Amino acid sequence: MAITRIGNPAIADVRGVNFRNIIINGDMSVSQRSTSQASITSSGYYTVDRYLINLSSLGTWTMSQETDVPTGQGFSSSLKMDCTTADASPAADDQFAIEHRVEGQNLQYLKFGTSSAKSLTLSFWVKSNKTGTYVASLMLNDASPKLWYSTQYTISASDTWEKKTITYPGNTAQAFDNDNGSSLRIFFWLGAGSNRSGGSNYTAWTAEPGSAPYNLCPGQVNLADSTSNEWYMTGVQLEAGSQASDFEFLPFDVNFKRCQRYYWGLWDKSIATANGPDGGDAAYYASSILYFSGQHPVRMRAQPSLDQASGTNYYKAFRSSADDDFNEFTLQTTNNRTNETRYQMNVASNISGTAGQAAFIRCNNANAYVFFDAEL
């Protein structure tokens, strides 16, 4: 009997899963950085993996991974945004959205830029005390100017989980670059000033204007207008076709490794202590230089940068005759010493070993962490 694949044909099945969901971590189950981050006033990745806060001067927020989920749908986690400092009168260029970015090489099967371009259907569960009009947008990042398709949805009932489904047409004129760059960006708008929230809903792919007004999220409510406001989301799925299928649950280990392509921790913030855990073997290149290297658990999207906590004696090198306490690592990026598959770091302060001497590295403070970052 022939088997027809309806998802991404470039990715092999795992336990009967065909990876039809373009979104990574759509069930919000992975949150490597933290389960909660308060006092957010600028853009960045903070808690739930693969979800970027895109924020410019519109309130102060706490982002968290929560267990409040739709009943009976199989989810165990959700993403929550909680307004802690309100801004009821945003400036014209202010904006706030939750964003997810997708590599172009994972989108080639959609055949954008051809007459066979496939439509895309976005489905997700959402809940908020603030009812009204919200906007979900797709942006084709490889186009110049950028191409947008923005569609409104309505949160009808306060504090009630609702499932939303939006279908976007394929784009026959603009292809996705076949590389590891950010080709598709998905925006869940939560607030914006008049230069973005004005105008009318897009009914076709539209080029981003070169100057204001941009009208990227017409009619969007302002979630930042009260510190009583909160917004939850889970079960995010983006798939080829004009119909939303049931959410595709991946085994946790598969979902976790997909997230590690973009970010992973040598020392997780949740497990660091004043006496471990160990990080691996190292060697003294000279009396004052210690090298520490290893393999990434999965192939990373690109050469990563280092996201680490630095502080007095946060880390320790154990050697035969004595220990060396030090404050931070330096990532070696020249001559491909750190790349998509491996890393090399060195320590060149507070070190007094012997060339060729072996050591092993240990976390030495409960506030220490070391992550590798290749996010889009």
**Residue 361, domain member (yes or no):** yes
Report pLDDT for 343: 96
For 243-280, what is each residue's pLDDT tens digit? 999 999 999 999 999 999 999 999 877 777 777 788 88
Report pLDDT for 278: 81
pTM: 0.94
Which of the listed residues 260, 289, 316 is the one where a domain comes to its end? 260
Residues 100 and 202 in one domain: yes
**Residue 5, domain member (yes or no):** no
Residues 315 and 233 in one domain: no
Which of the listed residues 234, 260, 286 is the one where a domain comes to its end? 260
**Residue 20, domain member (yes or no):** no
Report pLDDT for 7: 57
Q: Which residue has the tokens 């808690």?
A: 47
**Residue 152, domain member (yes or no):** yes
Q: Which residue has the tokens 């160990």?
A: 278
**Residue 173, domain member (yes or no):** yes
**How many secondary structure helices (H) and strands (E) does the chain include?**
2, 21
Q: Which residues of the chain have pLDDT under 70?
A: 1-17
**Residue 244, domain member (yes or no):** yes
Domain of 366, in residue numbers: 264-373
Which of the listed residues 260, 287, 311 is the one where a domain comes to its end? 260
Residues 255 and 283 in one domain: no
Residues 197 and 154 in one domain: yes
Residues 158 and 297 in one domain: no
Whether 128 contacts 155, CB under 8 Å: yes
Q: Which residue has the tokens 């409104």?
A: 152
Report pLDDT for 1: 37
**Residue 25, domain member (yes or no):** no
Core vs surface per residue 304-327: b (16+ CB within 10 A) or e:
bebebbeeeebbbbebeeeebebb
Specify the number of domains making up the chain: 2
Residues 145 and 277 in one domain: no
End-to-end CA distance of the chain: 40
**Residue 8, domain member (yes or no):** no
Residues 250 and 270 in one domain: no
For 21-46, what is each residue's pLDDT tens digit? 999 999 999 999 999 999 999 999 99
Report pLDDT for 202: 84
Find the CATH number of the domain harbouring 154: 2.60.120
Report pLDDT for 13: 47
